[in-house]
Amino acid sequence: MIDFALGEEHRAVKEAVRQFITKEVMPLEDQVLLNERNGRPALEPGQLKDLQAKARKYGYWGINTPEEYGGMAAGALMSAIIAGEAGRTFVPFRFGGSADNILYAGTEAQKQEYLIPTIEGDRRSCFAITEPGAGSDARNIRTRAVRDGDDWVINGEKVFITNGNEADFVMVFAVTDPDKGADGGVTCFLVDRAMGWESTPIPTMGEWGPGALSFQDVRVPNDHILGEEGKGFELAMQWIGNGRFMIPAGAIGAAERMLEMAIEHANNRHSMGQPIANYQFIQGHIADSAVELEAARWLTLHAAWQVENGVDARHTSSIAKLYGTNMANRVVDRVLQIHGGMGYTKELPLERWYRELRLLRIFEGTDEIQRRTIARNLLKGHVKVGASLA
């Protein structure tokens, strides 16, 4: 049986999250745009926490967090639906109560020290694998951890680390056995900022900047290894792979909202005696955006469905990420075009979305890396053409 309808619970949650985002988050949009123009952070410190506390009252807390840690334990499909609703606003809001999936690999002591405070919002993590010489080529990292008695001493540089300037601890990936490298010689360490690593903001075309992290003889106790020694690369791939479908899921929400803006503007803006909606070029922008949006929606929901049902979702997730993020970039370009000069101003969110959505094609596997994965799966026969129906 194929059923394209959302279940009752999915629909109810989608509606409730839309209400929350519309009522509590979207009203902040003008302020966010103004803050960015004035070089201030999008949300005041504490504002995000307040919003998250409000969401908690609505029952939205720890979307993917297991119930034993106070979360919703929402499945992949529900998570994708929620991400889509949250993606309808460009306010950098995220629901509270979550922690990076690999923190669950911690020991009981690590869970108390890192996982639970992160879920509660009392600590902030960042995930550091990328280096100046190793981005797509993550197997080639050079940051080195050398054993010294009960400690490890870490030296190296990481770049483009999201939350790297704000985090009070890092999950950093370092080579512990150069002979094995990514095949059993990379280890993940939980390292407090207080242990000595430093960060420098990297300005970007987005509103916020990631950090460059520097480790110079940073001494870390052996019991700060996350997971097993030598198994860090697998942990890193787990972190990235498990949530890949969530990136296009958010992009779908943004594209939906922008398409709505385009329709409203096309119907109301007059040029040469009639609404611009009457012109076929404008209709083409709207139709192409709608077609691509629907295609991205089903690709993404299918990837989420596979994850939820324990099916290997790597191929489908790569397809959804590649198509969904490119779709959102094309949609923002068309919708900005439909808005003419106003689209280019900082009065409307389109200019900001234009910049922010561009990132989605770069991080967590670039366009080219997704294409490489998809092509390799097919060319080597790991996946058969049309196998997604099987």
Ligand X SMILES: Cc1cc2nc3c(=O)[nH]c(=O)nc-3n(C[C@H](O)[C@H](O)[C@H](O)COP(=O)(O)OP(=O)(O)OC[C@H]3O[C@@H](n4cnc5c(N)ncnc54)[C@H](O)[C@@H]3O)c2cc1C
Catalytic residue numbers read 364
238 binds ligand X (CB under 6 A): no
Residue 352 backbone dihedrals phi, psi, to 5 degrees: -65, -45
Q: Residue 81 in contact with residue 125, Cβ under 8 Å?
A: no
368 binds ligand X (CB under 6 A): yes
- Tokens read off for 219: 């001494």
Report the nearest approach of ligand X to the CB of residue 240 (Å).
Answer: 8
89 binds ligand X (CB under 6 A): no
- Which C-beta is closer to ligand X: that of 238 or that of 278? 238
- 264: helix, coil or strand? helix
Tell me which amino acid residue 254 is.
A
Distance (Å, rounded) from C-alpha 36 to C-alpha 262?
23
Report the nearest approach of ligand X to the CB of residue 24 (Å).
Answer: 26
Residues 146-165 that bind ligand X (CB under 6 A): 160-162
362 binds ligand X (CB under 6 A): yes
Distance (Å, rounded) from C-alpha 390 to C-alpha 373?
20
129 binds ligand X (CB under 6 A): yes
Q: Token pair 């709608």 is at which residue?
A: 290
Helix (H) or strand (E) holding 212: strand 211-221
- Which C-beta is closer to ligand X: that of 134 or that of 295? 134
128 binds ligand X (CB under 6 A): yes
Distance (Å, rounded) from C-alpha 87 to C-alpha 84?
5
253 binds ligand X (CB under 6 A): no
Q: Which residue sits closest to ligand X, CB atoms considered?
A: 135
65, 89, 130, 199: which one binds ligand X (CB under 6 A): 130
Q: Residue 168 in contact with residue 123, Cβ under 8 Å?
A: yes
Based on C-alpha coordinates, what's the Rg of the chain?
22
* Interface region with ligand X, contact rule CB under 6 A, candidates 22-30, 290-298, 311-319, 355-363: 355-363
369 binds ligand X (CB under 6 A): yes
Report the nearest approach of ligand X to the CB of residue 361 (Å).
Answer: 9
204 binds ligand X (CB under 6 A): yes
342 binds ligand X (CB under 6 A): no
How many C-beta atoms surround the C-beta of residue 346 within 10 A? 12
- Which C-beta is closer to ligand X: that of 204 or that of 238? 204
- Tokens read off for 16: 């409730």
Report the nearest approach of ligand X to the CB of residue 154 (Å).
Answer: 15
Distance (Å, rounded) from C-alpha 291 to C-alpha 294?
5
366 binds ligand X (CB under 6 A): yes
Strands 198-201 and 211-221: antiparallel
Q: Where are the alpha helices (DSSP H) in 47-143?
A: 47-58, 76-86, 108-110, 116-119
363 binds ligand X (CB under 6 A): yes
Report the nearest approach of ligand X to the CB of residue 367 (Å).
Answer: 6
75, 135, 221, 241: which one binds ligand X (CB under 6 A): 135
Q: Which residues bind ligand X (CB under 6 A)?
A: 127-130, 135-137, 160-162, 204, 210, 359, 362-364, 366, 368-369, 372
